[in-house]
Amino acid sequence: MATHMARFRTWGQVRRFGIAAYRRYSSSTGYPNVSLSAPLPGIPKPVFASVDGHEKYETKITTLENGLKVASQNKFGQFCTVGILINSGSRHEAKYPSGIAHFLEKLAFSSTAQYGSKDEILLTLEKHGGICDCQASRDTTMYAVSAEVKGLDTVVSLLSDAVLQPRLLDEEIEMTRTAVRFELEDLNMRPDPEPLLTEMIHAAAFRGNTVGLPRFCPAENLEKIDRDLLTTYLRSYYCPERMVLAGVGIEHEQLVACARKYLLGMTPVWGAGTPEKVDRSVAQYTGGIVKTEKDMSDVSLGPTPIPELTHIMIGLESCSFLEDDFIPFAVLNMMMGGGGSFSAGGPGKGMFTRLYLNVLNRHHWMYNATSYHHSYEDSGLLCIHASADPRQVREMVEIITREFIQMSSVAGEMELERAKTQLKSMLMMNLESRPVIFEDVGRQVLATGQRKLPHELCQLISSVTAADVKRVTSRMLRSKPAVAALGDLSELPSYEHIQAALSSKDGRLPRTYRLFR
């Protein structure tokens, strides 16, 4: 009777928890010897969903009579992301006071011809479960809305009104001026200096031109920007041939119909006319140094304050995102990787990248070493950001210059494959998000008039060889360095010494001798 009850109890466990619950984890014969690479015996053969080619997921593009491009990508779900991307940003402000794009970003979705205030716009979007946002970068301004698919007509109408019919009232401009002033103060006070360093490295690399112009409005220009100046700028850059209406999660024909209804033949509030003062200059890489002496001892007070650090960013010219070398540069950037000294995680977090293995793991006093790659339609910049105690700045700079020189060594097969796999993984994971797909569709169509699909990009990444990485590194090392430095700079080497180190075989700084210390 007891044996029968034990068997019944065991069979109940198998039925309830599966066969894994019955396995005896020992050397006894009860442990089944089943290969993990072969199908389990007695299990029905799985039937996987299949896709008939890529035609259901291709980006469809239509150009309207006025030059506006409409691009869409269908995606399953009840919500969609729709927006207007404009070929306009801080790089186009050469003939204007810098800061206009920053002002327009803050003024977005304020009162329009159809809506009396920002609150009215938000209430209208709430009826369709929607949110709105505007982001201005160095080369693109993006107005975007995420809402229910059923509200597409309202969304496109609202976008058309926000972009082409803003009222630009004096009180709104004054509020924006206050918001920008506050943001500038916050930028100089925040513990994370990365946005400020990025601004400085661009100013050093492209001194006084295109992407080197300030992305944030300089304090001295706050009072210069008024309604007339904004209207003149909008007349020059907010024209249909410089715009893309992009949508994700909607039918292409439906989006084109809405575009024809609300964006074709629509006269902007600044009037129809031939664009004037359009800046078509090409980015000129200059190299150079931008330094800001600053007391960083009190940037993060509290129970666990961040120690005083000096931040250095060194960059070299890479390439445009339109060039074939863009993909090898992206692989090189992923191979360098890096991060903060307190970052936790396994190989997926980049713990096997060069800046972790060669820098952070070997030099405990370095708080950060991270690689960044900025790419634009006519140039690019690959840079390394590092931070350490002010007394060790010289040693830190030499470590970074040596890493730049070692980039030209032949990458190992495993290292290269790991970097390519990480890049493809990051690409595919990011493109699971609807807003990211929207931005990718809009930016690619705005820049090239077409879109490369993820599987095409993965094929390009897979085809990168160690010789490609070595070739683009050699090309990059021929350019002058761009240097940004923030904090206590008493131990910072001269620009000429940094340039000499990047021209040497081993990346070492020239020796300096002091009679008195």
Other C-beta atoms lying within 10 Å of the C-beta of residue 443: 19
First-to-last CA distance in the chain? 92
Phi-psi label, residue 67: left if phi above 0, alpha if psi -120 to 50, beta otherwise: left
Q: Which two tokens stand for residue 161?
A: 């009104």
Residue 281 within any structural domain of the chain? no
Q: Are residues 123 and 252 in the same domain?
A: yes
**How far apart are alpha carbons 369 and 387 in whole angstroms?**
7
pLDDT at 326: 97
Cβ(373)–Cβ(380) under 8 Å?
A: yes
Q: Are residues 238 and 308 in the same domain?
A: no
Return the bridge partners of 339, or none.
369
**How far apart are alpha carbons 298 and 488 in whole angstroms?**
13
**How far apart are alpha carbons 502 and 317 in whole angstroms?**
13
**How far apart are alpha carbons 450 and 61 in whole angstroms?**
7
Q: How many domains does the chain have?
A: 2
pLDDT at 351: 75
Return the bridge partners of 246, or none.
71, 83
What lies within 8 Å, CB to CB, of 86 at 6+ separation is 140, 141, 142, 143, 163, 237, 238, 242, 243
pTM of the model: 0.87
Reduce the DSSP state of residue 177 to 3 states and report it. helix
Other C-beta atoms lying within 10 Å of the C-beta of residue 107: 22
Residue 127 within any structural domain of the chain? yes
Residue 73 within any structural domain of the chain? yes
Q: Are residues 256 and 320 in the same domain?
A: no
Q: Which two tokens stand for residue 74?
A: 């269908």
Q: Are residues 464 and 340 in the same domain?
A: yes
Q: Are residues 313 and 407 in the same domain?
A: yes
What lies within 8 Å, CB to CB, of 475 at 6+ separation is 319, 325
Q: Are residues 357 and 474 in the same domain?
A: yes
| Distances from the Cα of 308 to the Cα of 305, 491, 511, angstroms | 9, 14, 26
Q: Are residues 320 and 250 in the same domain?
A: no
**How far apart are alpha carbons 438 and 80 in whole angstroms?**
9
What lies within 8 Å, CB to CB, of 301 at 6+ separation is none
Residue 384 within any structural domain of the chain? yes
Residue 167 within any structural domain of the chain? yes
| Distances from the Cα of 238 to the Cα of 92, 101, 228, 272, 445, angstroms | 12, 12, 15, 11, 17
Q: Are residues 222 and 318 in the same domain?
A: no
**How far apart are alpha carbons 466 and 464 in whole angstroms?**
7
116-120 long-range contacts, Cβ below 8 Å, gap at least 24?
none
pLDDT at 344: 47
Return the bridge partners of 484, or none.
290, 313
Q: Which of 496, 138, 478 is nearest to 319 (CA)?
A: 478
| Distances from the Cα of 14 to the Cα of 10, 87, 176, angstroms | 6, 63, 66
**How far apart are alpha carbons 262 and 131 in whole angstroms?**
20
Return the bridge partners of 512, or none.
none
pLDDT at 348: 47
Residue 160 CA to chain centroid, in angstroms?
Answer: 26
Q: Which two tokens stand for residue 481?
A: 């360095």
Q: Are residues 301 and 252 in the same domain?
A: no
CATH for 241: 3.30.830.10
Q: Are residues 256 and 305 in the same domain?
A: no
pLDDT at 349: 55
Domain of residue 440, residue span = 288-503
| Distances from the Cα of 378 to the Cα of 107, 199, 375, 430, angstroms | 29, 18, 8, 25
Residue 399 within any structural domain of the chain? yes
Other C-beta atoms lying within 10 Å of the C-beta of residue 223: 9
pLDDT at 401: 97
| Distances from the Cα of 311 to the Cα of 295, 332, 333, 367, angstroms | 12, 23, 20, 10
Other C-beta atoms lying within 10 Å of the C-beta of residue 384: 25
**How far apart are alpha carbons 197 and 182 in whole angstroms?**
19
**How far apart are alpha carbons 275 and 278 in whole angstroms?**
7
User: Could you read off the pLDDT tens digit of each residue along the chain, which spans 517 residues?
Assistant: 555 555 555 555 545 545 444 555 445 555 667 777 887 778 888 787 665 555 556 899 999 999 999 999 988 889 999 999 999 999 999 999 999 999 999 999 999 999 999 999 999 999 999 999 999 999 999 999 999 999 999 999 999 999 999 999 999 999 999 999 999 999 988 888 999 999 999 999 999 999 999 999 999 999 999 999 999 999 999 999 999 999 999 999 999 999 999 999 889 999 877 777 788 899 999 999 999 998 887 776 666 677 889 999 999 999 999 999 999 999 999 999 887 765 544 444 557 899 999 999 999 999 999 999 999 999 999 999 999 999 999 999 999 999 999 999 988 999 999 999 999 999 999 999 999 999 999 999 999 999 999 999 999 999 999 999 999 999 999 999 999 999 999 999 999 999 999 999 999 999 876 655 5
Other C-beta atoms lying within 10 Å of the C-beta of residue 188: 11
Q: Are residues 179 and 326 in the same domain?
A: no
Q: Are residues 361 and 306 in the same domain?
A: yes
